[in-house]
Amino acid sequence: MRSHPADYEMVSPGSLEAVLRLMNEDPGRWLPVAGATEVMVMFSAGKLGARRLVNLWGLSELREIREDAESLTLGGGCTFGQIRGNPAVLRHFPSLAQAASWTGSIANQNRATIAGNIANASPAADSPPALLAYDAELELVSARGRRCIPYRDFHLGYKRTALDQAELIRAVILKKHFDGYFSYGRKTGARNAQAISKVCMAGVGRMRGGKVDDVRIGMGAVAPTPLRLSGVEVLIRGEAVDDSRIRAARKALDAAIAPIDDIRSVAEYRRFVAGNLLEEFLRGLAASGEALLVVLARWNALPEMEAAEEILPCCGSQRWSQALVRMRPFVSAEELSVASDRVWWNLGHDDWEEAFRSHPRIGERKAPTAATKQSAVWSRQEQDGVYAQDAQILAEMVRRNEEYEARFGRVFLVCATGKSAAEMPGILRSRLGNDAEVELREAAEQQRQITQLRLRKWLGA
């Protein structure tokens, strides 16, 4: 039987401080509501027990996405639409972006929030496995203050969480430790879209020297809460991934989960599929390591001149490529990445300028004469999002590029992957305000980021 609106009260205090004060005055009596996608289902079914609702929708304090050198912070009120299209999420946490794309319809994604998905505490929710795999932390706030807890400690039982009655999830904090990791995400359901999971899983891992160097795995819809598969991780970390290790991992998984029969599936099916997903992840992880080792082993064995020429498109500086060649052999992507940064920051300004000259202007497809063929291909791929179709944006980009070159004597350089044409004029304007030394260092940092992205592409070739 459908609920009647007259039986419910909703207030909109207008600020996070006012919301927390209200909840503190009467703990447990107010249900925080943002996107209300789950609340409306319960309301329509006549099963919404909470009668007093406090509206969080639109609070700016909860809608920010902030990035710094170490982490990415997602405000609890960020929608899955925001998350799935955010360049930083796509770049550093692809399995979370993938999970955001699974959550209901596009309309749902534009309303449903990350904090709501977590606080609802469904064991079949789409985002928790990725948050577990990425070692997310939660910032919880109340009128009494704030505290941070690992997300893996948040779920205490079916529909039970570590939230106090007067607390909200202020933000989700993700440390940027996973660049260069193999990422995996899979959801099984009755349909490809708008279906609650039968089983869902996310995993990240890194191979080194033919063995699992690091691995994190989260799984949903197989227990009363979303699970971090710590026992499975311990079993495979430091080991080669072969058939016997996969069989042992499947056995450990089977002991760790507790699936049930319900309207969407049966326990036997969930056990079987969970094992298949784990095996698929592990075989993909092993293959990623084998491909990387093949590329590195071949390159390590090349003559110096040939090796320097092959890796040059990743940066554009001859001294950079020659220095890396002299540091061979490399046995992992991480070693190569660290060495690349060390070499880059110890180069002279002329070497930096040489690398800068290998890039086209932002918004233009024509490669400079200094660019290698591979560098030109990568530049076109990286700038896919910034080729302006709007005449006004294009005209401003041309004008700002000319201002930049007249002021600094070089092409404007930015790591364009994941950025749109509409963002470029603003970035250009802000960089024009830098003095010469600050801007040189900023351009060098942008080149460093481009080099790291290209190294990963090269290793996966």
Please report, for the domain that includes residue 425, its CATH number: 1.10.3330.10
Cut 0.75: pTM above it: no
Q: How many domains does the chain have?
A: 4
Asked if residue 289 and residue 193 are part of one domain, the reply reads yes
**CA torsion angle for 292, 297, 300, 303 (degrees, to 10)?**
-120
Cα–Cα distance, 419 to 400 (Å, whole number): 17
Domain final position from 260, 276, 294: 294
On whether residue 299 sits in a domain, the answer given is no
Does residue 180 lie in a domain region? no
Residues 191, 165 within the same domain? no
pLDDT of residue 388: 47
First to last CA, the chain: 58
Residues 264, 349, single domain; the answer is no
Q: Do 205 and 95 share a structural domain?
A: no
Domain that holds residue 88: 60-175
- Contact by Cβ (8 Å): 336, 296: yes
Do residue 155 and residue 190 come from a single domain? no
Of the candidates 116, 147, 175, which is a domain's last residue? Answer: 175
Return the axis-axis angle of helices 333-345 and 318-326, rounded to nearest 10°. 130
pLDDT tens digit sequence for 308-362 = 999 999 999 999 999 999 998 887 777 888 899 999 999 999 999 999 998 887 6
Task: Assess if residue 125 is contained within a domain.
Answer: yes
* pLDDT for residue 254: 97
Residues of the chain with pLDDT under 70: 1-2, 47, 191-194, 362-371, 375-390, 418-419, 461
Same domain assignment for residues 277 and 337: no
Residue 220 lies in a domain: yes
Q: Is 261 within a domain? A: yes
Per-residue model confidence (pLDDT) at position 313: 92
Q: Are both 113 and 151 inside the same structural domain?
A: yes
Pinpoint the alpha helices (H) of 173-266.
Answer: 230-236, 243-256
- Note whether residue 435 is domain-resident: yes
Quote the strand ranges of 145-239, DSSP E: 145-150, 155-157, 160-161, 168-175, 182-188, 199-208, 211-220, 227-228
On the CB side of 461, CA atoms within 13 Å amount to: 15
Q: Tokens 């660049």 appear where?
A: 179
**Domain contains 409:** yes
Distance CA 260, CA 124 (A): 12
Residue 181 lies in a domain: no
Say if residue 22 is in the same domain as residue 120: no
Among 291, 329, 209, which residue's Cα sits nearest to residue 458? Answer: 291
CATH number, domain with residue 34: 3.30.43
Judgement on whether residues 70 and 129 belong to the same structural domain of the protein:
yes
- Kindly state whether residues 314 and 451 are assigned to the same domain: yes
Nearest-CA neighbor of 36 among 99, 117, 97?
117
Both 154 and 190 in a single domain? no
3-state secondary structure at position 208? strand
What is the structure's pLDDT at 57?
A: 94
Contact 280, 255 (CB under 8 A): no
Domain endpoint, select from 156, 175, 194 = 175
Phi, psi angle pair for 348, to nearest 5°: -80, 170
Residues 22 and 134 in one domain: no
